[in-house]
Amino acid sequence: MAITDSSQRSGELARAKIIDTAFEHFARHGYQGSSLGRIATAAGISQSGLLHHFPSKAALLQAVLATRDLRDTVATGITPGNLADLDFTALLTFFTQVVRHNAANRDLVRLAHLTAVEADNPDHPAHGWVTGRQRFLQSLIENALARDATAGTIRSDIDTRTVTELLVATMEGLENQWLLDPGIDMVGSFQRFATHLRTIITAVP
Amino acid sequence: MAITDSSQRSGELARAKIIDTAFEHFARHGYQGSSLGRIATAAGISQSGLLHHFPSKAALLQAVLATRDLRDTVATGITPGNLADLDFTALLTFFTQVVRHNAANRDLVRLAHLTAVEADNPDHPAHGWVTGRQRFLQSLIENALARDATAGTIRSDIDTRTVTELLVATMEGLENQWLLDPGIDMVGSFQRFATHLRTIITAVP
């Protein structure tokens, strides 16, 4: 059994090495600008060795994105399950954590942005990931606002859709600028925006 | 002279055809994912014919971006020169025009976003374009706020940097979402944000 364990272990190590290398390539060159041959070479494996682990470039991108999601979940300690229970104030605190996490993980942000622009076409292998991610973000905000509306803690004339679009826009648009200029105070600006947004939507007792 | 004119004209037509084709390719596949060979084929010209007009892929991208800027200027009727004179209210009106123009020109927005993420590296041929564009946008906002501060029409405790980052973020972040989901009301959400922003920074007389 020791031999099987060791071979499984070396397979896992090879997979992890390929995913890390592919992560760098996709984050740097995009999906279309990356090649399996160059990823294999950089990972120190033959192309047929790579194809043994991931049958296509599409499968490799999907594995990279799943790894990215897992790292985000581990880093922030929050899973889709417990996110659904947050009210709007708690959600803004969570988003602030995410922005801070992103500010320390440039490649993560770059991969997400590059993939999002590339994958707007339904034929792109990451189309489901990027649209699902956007819908998930929107639904978190909508659920939190609905919960607060029921509790009467936010103003009754809030336009959920506008708040949702502007909140997502602020997070993503600050990232756009910060990718080009790391001097942008992404975390500070987001915190000031979040404080302001919370103030204007809170019901006056 | 007629022969020279006709040959000049056919050279201009060939250049225009190459630029339009390259625009589509760069907007769809990014700079790194596009190839001069494929662009030449799609434009109905040989690769050496293309290289006669544009000596490299970098030169071609720069020509495409310059054409994009020219189209924006023509469409909005505003040049960098007369923009510098706007106060903040007029600037928000101009930005609303730009958002409306962008909402009707998906490829323009896609090219700008894809190029911005790809070109964060100083070695990328469009790095100067994307960082210059971001600084230009920032300086427009900062100038307008400074003009209004001098005139006493905005509150004295406004943090210029935060307002600038959030305004740029809102425009770009709404575009991010709209690229993935054209159902996003980019123009309406931006207008509601602009109205709100103007209200909160205006000095109470």
In this complex, which of B31, B162, B200 lies closest to A189 when CB atoms are compared? B162
How much is the pLDDT for B204? 76
Name the residue facing B177 among A169, A192, A200 (closest C-beta): A169
pLDDT band, very low/low/confident/very high, at A3 (cuts 50, 70, 90): low
pLDDT, tens digit, 9 for 90 and up, residues B84-112:
788 999 999 999 999 999 999 898 899 99
| Residue A133 exposure: Cα atoms within 13 Å on the Cβ side | 21
Mutate to test the interface with A, among B141, B176, B187 (most CBs of A within 10 A): B176
Output the pTM of the full model.
0.87
Q: Tokens 């942005």 — which residue?
A: A113
- pLDDT tens-digit profile of A144-171? 999 999 999 999 888 999 999 999 999 9
Q: Which domains are seen in chain B, by residue range? A: 1-57 (1.10.10.60), 78-201 (1.10.357)
How far apart are the C-alpha atoms of B185 and B86, rounded to whole Å?
A: 26
For residue A64, pLDDT beyond 60:
yes
**ipTM of the complex, rounded to two decimals:** 0.84
Report, as an integer, the average pLDDT of A111-124: 89
Cβ neighbors of B19 (< 8 A, separation 6 or more) are B60, B63, B64, B67
Sequence-separated (6 or more) residues with CB below 8 Å from residue A103: A178, A186, A187
Q: Pick the residue with more confidence: A147 or A68? A: A147
DSSP state of A120: T
Question: Which residue, among B117, B118, B142, B200, would best test binding to A if mutated, counting the most A CBs under 10 Å from its CB?
Answer: B117
Q: At what angle do helices A106-118 and A2-29 cross, to 10 degrees?
A: 70
- Which residue in chain B is spatially nearest to A126 when comparing CA positions? B180
Q: Which residue has the higher pLDDT, A11 or B127?
A: B127
Q: Is B32 on the interface with A (CB under 8 A)?
A: yes
Band (B69; pLDDT cuts 50, 70, 90)? confident
Q: Does A101 reach chain B within 8 Å, measured CB to CB?
A: no
Reported as a single tens digit per residue, the pLDDT across B148-191 is 999 999 998 889 999 999 999 999 999 999 999 999 999 999 99
The pair of three-digit structure tokens given for residue A200, joined into one six-digit string: 């204007």
Contact B172 A170 (CB under 8 A): no
